[in-house]
C-alpha cells in the first residue's frame, strides 16, 4: 500500500491510499470505519461485561477525503439495495434523504470506538400475522457490523428463527428451500424508539447459492444467521447482545459519524431512483436535518454517553467554489454481499494463473446532482473462478449480479475490506 495524490476531474485529494494485491482476498481494508476484530472475550471492559472486540484499523479513505476538505464531517451513509437490481451506495459526508423513510433516530456516544453501538428497545419474532406468542427480547445491546454477512443473535432468538424457517443444517451452515422460505409470513421486528421500527422477513435473511446435487438439492438458499462464535473463539452467551450485519442493512439506512461519535438508523426504501443528497455539517446529522426541516429531521437523539467536545480543528475549506462536499459511489455484488464500490481506489488484482492481464478500468462517469457530484462505478464484474472448497456438489463459478445476494467461499466479506 502507498499514499499519493488522487485526481478525479478537477478534484485533487492528497495522502490517498493506493493498493495492489496478488489475489482479491489479499486486498487490505479500505479504511472507511470500524471493523470487527476477533470474536472473543474482551477482558476488563469498563462495564464488566464480555463483548465483541471492535477495532478501527484505519480511516484512511475517509480521513483522506476529510483532510482534503471535501466533506465537513468524517462520516458516511450506507444504503444496500441488491435484489431485483443493485443500486447500493456509500455516501461520504452526507445522507440521501430519498433512500430512507423519515424519521431517523440518532445515538451519540462518548468515544469514537463506540460508534455503531447502542441499545435496541425490543426485538420480537412473530411466526405469522397475529401470533399471540412471539419471542421477545428487550433492551438488547446492539453492534452494527458494517461488513459481516450475518446477523448474530443470542441462541434463544437464533434457534427460534431457524425453526420458523424450517432450516436444515450442513456443518456449521443452515439452508432452506428458497421458494418455501420466501412464502413464509414470519417477521423480525426491531423497535428503536416510539416511531422507528424496522422489520426483516425471510427474504432478507436468505441468499441463493449455486445448484446443489444429491439429497439436499432442493435446499438452494443459505441462511445468513450465525452464533456469537467465530474462528474457534467464543463469546460467552449474552442474552442481551446482538450484532447486525448485512441482512439488517438490507432494510435499514445507516449513518456513522466518527467526528461527532454518532450512529443514525432509519427504515430504508428499496428500488428508489430519486436522490436528494444532503451534506452533513460539522454540528452533526440532527442539527443538519432539522435545519429548515430538511428530510423532516430525526425524531430521536439518544445520548447514551455525553457527546464529545467540539474539536479545536475548525477544518474550514480553502475555496468554497472548488469544494465537493459529497461523494456517492454505487457498486456491485461480490461474494453474496453488496460490495459498495471501491471508493476511488486504484485496485490491481493480479492473477498468478496464466499471468492474466488486467482489464482496462473505464473512466468514472460524473453526473451533476444539485451542485454535488456523484461518482458511480460500473457494477459489472468478471466471472469468479475460485478453488474448490471441498464441498461436494458446489459449483464456484458465479456471474456478478443476481436477483438475491449470494455468498462465495474464499471471497472476503465487506468487514475485511472496511
CA distance 36 to 30: 14
Name 207's bridge partners. Answer: 222
Output the average pLDDT for the chain.
Answer: 67
CATH number at residue 45: 2.40.70.10
Considering only residues 211 and 369, tell me which one the structure prediction assigns the higher pLDDT: 211
In 93-184, the DSSP E strands lie at 94-96, 100-108, 117-126, 135-144, 151-152, 168-170, 173-176
The pLDDT score that the predictor gives to residue 7 is 59
**Block residue for cell numbers 482496462:** 360
Q: How confident is the model over 122-131, as pLDDT tens digits?
A: 999 998 887 8
- Other beta carbons within 10 angstroms of residue 94's beta carbon come to 26
Structural domain boundaries, residue 315: 2-417
pTM of the model: 0.65
| SS3 at position 362 | coil
Where residue 248 falls among pLDDT bands split at 50, 70, 90? very high
pLDDT number for residue 265: 96
Spatial strand order in the sheet of 347-349? 2-8, 11-21, 347-349
Higher pLDDT, 357 or 104: 104
Quote the percentage of the chain above a pLDDT of 90.
23
Backbone angles phi, psi at 239, to 5 degrees: -70, -5
Summarised one tens digit per residue, pLDDT across range 204-223 is 999 887 655 445 566 788 99
Q: Do the bridges between strand 332-334 and strand 384-385 make them parallel or antiparallel, or are there none, so unpaired?
A: unpaired
pLDDT of 228 reads: 72
Among residues 209, 165, 206, 168, which one has the least CA distance to residue 393? Answer: 209
Question: pLDDT: is 10 or 373 the higher one?
Answer: 10
User: Does residue 257 have a pLDDT over 70?
Assistant: yes
The DSSP bridge pattern shows strands 252-257 and 75-79 to be: antiparallel
Instruction: State the total domains in the chain.
Output: 1
Lowest-pLDDT choice from 59-68, 328-337, 383-392: 328-337
| pLDDT given for residue 70 in this prediction | 81
- Beta strands 94-96 and 277-279 are antiparallel
Amino acid at each position: 500500500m502507498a499514499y499519493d495524490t488522487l485526481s478525479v476531474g478537477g478534484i485533487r485529494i492528497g495522502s490517498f491510499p493506493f493498493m495492489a494485491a496478488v489475489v482479491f482476498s489479499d486486498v487490505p481494508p479500505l479504511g472507511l470505519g470500524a471493523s470487527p476484530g476477533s470474536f472473543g472475550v474482551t477482558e476488563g471492559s469498563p462495564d464488566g461485561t464480555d463483548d465483541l472486540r471492535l477495532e478501527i484499523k484505519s480511516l484512511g479513505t475517509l480521513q483522506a477525503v476529510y483532510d482534503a476538505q471535501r466533506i465537513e464531517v468524517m462520516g458516511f451513509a450506507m444504503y444496500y439495495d441488491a435484489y431485483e437490481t443493485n443500486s447500493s451506495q456509500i455516501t461520504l459526508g452526507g445522507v440521501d434523504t430519498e433512500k430512507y423513510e423519515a424519521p431517523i433516530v440518532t445515538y451519540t456516544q462518548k468515544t469514537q470506538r463506540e460508534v455503531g453501538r447502542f441499545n435496541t428497545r425490543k426485538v420480537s419474532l412473530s411466526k405469522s400475522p397475529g401470533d399471540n406468542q412471539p419471542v421477545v427480547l428487550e433492551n438488547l445491546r446492539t453492534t452494527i457490523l458494517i461488513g459481516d454477512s450475518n446477523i448474530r443473535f443470542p441462541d434463544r432468538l437464533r434457534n427460534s428463527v431457524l425453526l420458523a424457517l424450517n432450516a436444515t443444517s450442513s456443518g456449521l451452515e443452515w439452508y432452506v428451500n428458497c421458494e418455501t422460505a420466501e412464502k413464509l409470513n414470519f417477521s423480525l421486528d426491531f423497535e428503536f424508539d416510539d416511531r422507528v421500527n424496522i422489520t426483516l422477513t425471510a427474504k432478507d435473511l436468505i441468499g441463493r447459492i449455486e445448484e446443489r446435487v444429491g439429497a439436499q438439492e432442493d435446499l438452494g438458499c443459505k441462511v445468513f444467521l450465525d452464533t456469537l462464535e467465530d474462528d474457534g473463539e467464543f463469546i460467552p452467551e449474552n442474552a442481551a447482545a446482538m450484532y447486525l450485519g448485512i441482512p439488517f442493512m438490507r432494510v435499514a439506512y445507516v449513518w456513522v459519524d466518527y467526528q461527532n461519535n454518532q450512529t443514525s438508523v432509519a427504515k430504508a426504501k428499496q428500488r428508489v431512483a430519486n436522490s436528494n443528497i444532503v451534506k452533513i455539517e460539522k454540528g452533526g446529522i440532527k442539527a443538519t436535518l432539522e435545519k429548515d426541516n430538511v428530510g423532516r429531521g430525526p425524531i430521536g437523539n439518544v445520548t447514551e454517553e455525553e457527546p464529545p467536545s467540539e474539536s479545536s480543528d475548525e477544518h474550514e475549506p480553502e475555496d468554497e467554489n472548488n469544494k465537493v462536499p459529497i461523494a456517492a459511489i454505487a457498486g456491485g455484488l461480490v461474494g453474496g454481499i453488496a460490495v459498495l464500490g471501491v471508493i476511488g481506489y486504484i485496485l490491481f488484482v493480479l492473477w498468478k494463473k496464466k499471468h492474466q492481464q488486467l482489464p482496462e478500468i473505464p473512466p468514472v462517469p460524473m453526473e451533476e446532482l444539485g451542485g454535488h457530484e456523484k461518482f458511480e462505478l460500473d457494477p459489472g464484474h468478471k466471472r469468479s473462478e475460485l478453488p474448490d472448497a471441498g464441498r461436494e456438489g458446489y459449483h464456484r463459478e458465479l456471474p456478478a449480479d443476481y436477483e438475491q445476494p449470494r455468498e462465495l467461499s474464499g471471497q472476503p466479506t465487506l468487514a475485511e475490506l472496511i
